[in-house]
Amino acid sequence: MKEININTSFTVYQSQEELPQDIQPLMEKAVEIRKKAYAPYSKFRVGACLLLDNGQIVLGSNQENAAYPSGLCAERVAIFQAGAMYPDAKIVKMAISAASDTNQTTTPIPPCGACRQSISEYEFKQSYPIEIYFMGETGEVYKSDSIKNLLPLTFDKNFL
C-alpha cells in the first residue's frame, strides 16, 4: 500500500476591488450576467464570464427548468457557447460570481462537479490552463491557476 498526497493552492483576494486590473471587468460582467440568471426554483444565481485568446468575451448564467435536471449551470452555458461560436479559440480566464436570493453569500463558491468536468475537458482540449476566479456575492475572491486545483484527478479521453 502507498499513500498519495495531492496539494492544491489558490490565490486569495480580499475583495473584488483587489483583483488585478484586467480581471476586474471580467468579474463585473460575471456579476451583471448573474443578475439575469433564470433561477425561479433554487433562487441561486450564478454568472460566468470567459475571456478567449482571440479577445472575445463570452457570458453565461444558470438556466433552470421545472423538469430537474434539465437546466444548465452558468459555467457550462458560457463554455459551450464559446465552443460553438469560437471552436478554435482557447479559454484563457474565467470569472464566476454566485449569489442567493434568500441569503447573502460571502464566501467564494466554486464550480459544481459537472462544471469542473466540463472545464477540464476544454482545458485538456486546448492544452492550456484556464485561470479561474470565483466569488460569492461579496467577500473574498479565489483564483485557481488551472482546473487541476479544483479537480486534481481528472477523467479525460486518455481513459477511453
Query: Cell 478554435 appears where?
Result: 88
Check residue 3 and give its pLDDT: 95
Q: Is 49 annotated as a binding residue?
A: no
Check residue 157 and give its pLDDT: 85
Check residue 86 and give its pLDDT: 98
Q: Is 149 annotated as a binding residue?
A: no
State the CB neighbour count (10 A cutoff) for residue 64.
Answer: 20
pTM tops 0.75: yes
Q: Is 115 annotated as a binding residue?
A: yes
Q: Is 13 annotated as a binding residue?
A: no
Name the residues annotated as catalytic.
Answer: 75
Helix, strand, coil tally for the chain in percent (to 5)? 30, 25, 45
Check residue 159 and give its pLDDT: 87
CA–CA dist 54, 77 (Å, integer)? 19
pLDDT in tens, the chain (160 residues): 999 999 999 999 999 999 999 999 999 999 999 999 999 999 999 999 999 999 999 999 999 999 988 899 999 999 999 999 999 999 999 999 999 999 999 999 999 999 999 999 999 999 999 999 999 999 999 999 999 999 999 888 888 8
| Three cell numbers, residue 154 | 481528472
Q: Is 99 annotated as a binding residue?
A: no
Check residue 69 and give its pLDDT: 83
Best CATH choice for the domain 13-151 from the list 3.40.50.1820, 3.90.1640.10, 3.40.140.10, 3.90.79.10: 3.40.140.10
